[in-house]
Structure 1
């Protein structure tokens, strides 16, 4: 299919529609002449619920449990992928090969090598790919970065990004049990190692298991570290080191750390990532944010707005500039605009840049998991440390293979 004007109808298929997938679909349907023609989920209950909600909007999309069947549907032009992280790479590459334009949730992929594979697939195609880092479409984030780039903060030696999430509590131990009726749990697990059904390893809480995701580092880190990199115009770190653990909840049922500090070394400055569960009072009294700490003052940015806290007698503070818009809605508008105009150059979260920030987040996790200070060789695409290179790729199981391009 091809589009040549802004009013051409765009037919959307959504894969994974329980949580963020549904928010994404609602956002794209706000754009004129966009219609949902297909939905896909491994859970019949979710399919039925979303079908009823879409019927109230006058839409009757086809229902699929197998994403391959949706990708074969000629009445789908673009695909939203909001499945667990371990599916992002395989499904996005399959969608590109099927001739669909793609909106894929962050993190772009569940390993460094998967990020590289997805970038190659996108670059070797004529498909439009937008990644769900919607803060890139939000005005106050853009304005904050412009202020950082103005030089008014003076020399910036440290950038902090953090997620202190008081609402995130312990994942309690739960017994294995039967697969819920109407759920294709084998397909949900896909290339991940097989486990008996456990509610902790399903829907939202999959995030806290290395089989499927990377914990808060890849859940929130990709959003916030993204703007740390944009503000500093930073590329590849010289080194990465990390420390942390299950300090809040040693008996937590998940794999990923509830407390983590990662330090990324660049020429002349460091970027520091911190996360902690069950604590809301993060740096500068914010549960999440980015702080550009300069000689003249510090710019503090979060989803609510940005401000500058001056160093005494060096500059004037800047009062809070609050959020003014809906970043997700604007991100989807940008995606549809690029699809209709066949203009990948206007995409605000292009696949190559999303791959870079996802890889940076994975580096932090790998540094934590190996307990080593890591040196990255960008030319070779490898670390200097053998143990770290063993974690470059996600393990594929159950007959699934790393995508060949």
Structure 2
């Protein structure tokens, strides 16, 4: 599984396009044993935002006999019609919605998947909790620090099961690697590196504004984002590279990898953050977020360093992504494909690469279903609190980049010690929308 998120989505899309949902429904699971579940035991799911990861998520959920999909929602009618037809080919009839609020009014729905662009996550997740639904929400959970707080507050207020789509939390080799880090065998760890070198991401050509494609409710797609003319560069997958909707690779991949850096060091929030980078590879293309960035998070006695670069695959230790715990005795290098320990000469034994052996997304969605049924929230692999911690740290990295300063965090007050940095605590909401809970 040593591949980028983009490769994962392309592979998943190709698989689904070629076989419908045969590969993700119980009948096509290559002989995997399932217990029989009566209709009264089934959980009814709805999915909101079904172009990319939202579709991958609901497809993984449908591998579980306890789950059935009863509703889909998307503001792009072309996508919605396609997904409804794919399910219909498998004998699954669903209700189709263009307005997520109408889906949430459906009392037959027990839980929802939210796979929309980042700037919609907070509103939809808090509305879903208020409607009594359990939620599987894609990462990063919020497009600002204040959104993260609002989402945690909503989960606590309504006591819902909320799983964040940081599916690496369900992979065994990640757990094994962190257990090794916590064993102390690496010695004192002074530096943790996390990185994403995305060779697949090339320059995004500048395109003129245009009318939205037929069937797209562009006003609803924008939601709380600033009103702008439609541009294909900002739509579907590439929304990630524009500040109105997301935070670039710092939040898109950073929440996956910084999550394990923080977990390995048992860390919460840094004392200070500084970042430097820019559009070095593609200075004149359409993207807004930096294609090259180095961020340093200062903790007591160690640093966590984030790096990303687009158009390059040759990251540290010969890997395009990963986390490296650098200790006095050796360095543990972890990625989606496995982990290994590179020793300092004469200080410890090497640990040969131990490869991944499971499917993180399948296990993650299964964990979500299990907790919905048990209501034991502590059993969640990636709770909203987990998602908020790492998303907040990733947002701190972007805020340091935007201010161009070394900024300091006041943990007691939950804000920065710098007025310019505090201007970025909350995302700007437009078009009559307000940040949930504020």
- Normalising by structure 2, we get a TM-score of 0.90
CA distance in 1 between counterparts of 2:154 and 2:66 reads 28
For structure 2, the 5+ residue unaligned runs are 1-36
CA distance in 2 between counterparts of 1:289 and 1:335 reads 25
The equivalent position to 2:351 in structure 1, one of 311, 318, 321, is: 318
Is residue 12 of structure 1 aligned with residue 35 of structure 2? Answer: no
Is residue 348 of structure 1 aligned with residue 374 of structure 2? Answer: no
CA distance in 1 between counterparts of 2:108 and 2:291 reads 43
Q: Which residue of 2 aligns with 1:260?
A: 293
Q: How many residues align?
A: 401
Is residue 330 of structure 1 aligned with residue 357 of structure 2? Answer: no
CA distance in 2 between counterparts of 1:259 and 1:30 reads 38
Instruction: Give the drift of 1:236.
Output: 1.4
The equivalent position to 1:251 in structure 2, one of 274, 284, 287, is: 284
Q: Which residue of 1 aligns with 2:339?
A: 306
Q: Which residue of 2 aligns with 1:182?
A: 215
Instruction: Give the drift of 1:402.
Output: 1.7
1:6-405 alignment, distance < 5 Å: 8-404=41-437
CA distance in 2 between counterparts of 1:299 and 1:60 reads 48
Q: What SS class does the counterpart of residue 337 from structure 1 fall into? A: helix
CA distance in 2 between counterparts of 1:403 and 1:20 reads 24
Q: 184-193 vs 47-56, which deviates more?
A: 47-56
CA distance in 2 between counterparts of 1:126 and 1:315 reads 47
Q: What SS class does the counterpart of residue 335 from structure 1 fall into? A: helix
CA deviations on 1:365-394 (whole Å, 9 max, x unpaired) are 000000011111122111011111000000
Q: Which residue of 2 aligns with 1:3?
A: none
CA distance in 1 between counterparts of 2:377 and 2:347 reads 42
CA distance in 1 between counterparts of 2:373 and 2:148 reads 26
CA distance in 2 between counterparts of 1:73 and 1:92 reads 16
CA distance in 2 between counterparts of 1:401 and 1:265 reads 33
CA deviations on 1:303-333 (whole Å, 9 max, x unpaired) are 0000011111111110110010000000000
Instruction: Give the drift of 1:33.
Output: 2.1
CA distance in 2 between counterparts of 1:50 and 1:363 reads 37
CA distance in 2 between counterparts of 1:404 and 1:246 reads 35
CA distance in 2 between counterparts of 1:303 and 1:352 reads 23
CA distance in 2 between counterparts of 1:402 and 1:20 reads 24
Instruction: Give the drift of 1:96.
Output: 0.2
Q: 282-291 vs 7-16, which deviates more?
A: 7-16
- Normalising by structure 1, we get a TM-score of 0.98
Q: What SS class does the counterpart of residue 158 from structure 2 fall into? A: coil
CA distance in 1 between counterparts of 2:373 and 2:174 reads 26
Q: What SS class does the counterpart of residue 162 from structure 1 fall into? A: strand
Instruction: Give the drift of 1:404.
Output: 2.3
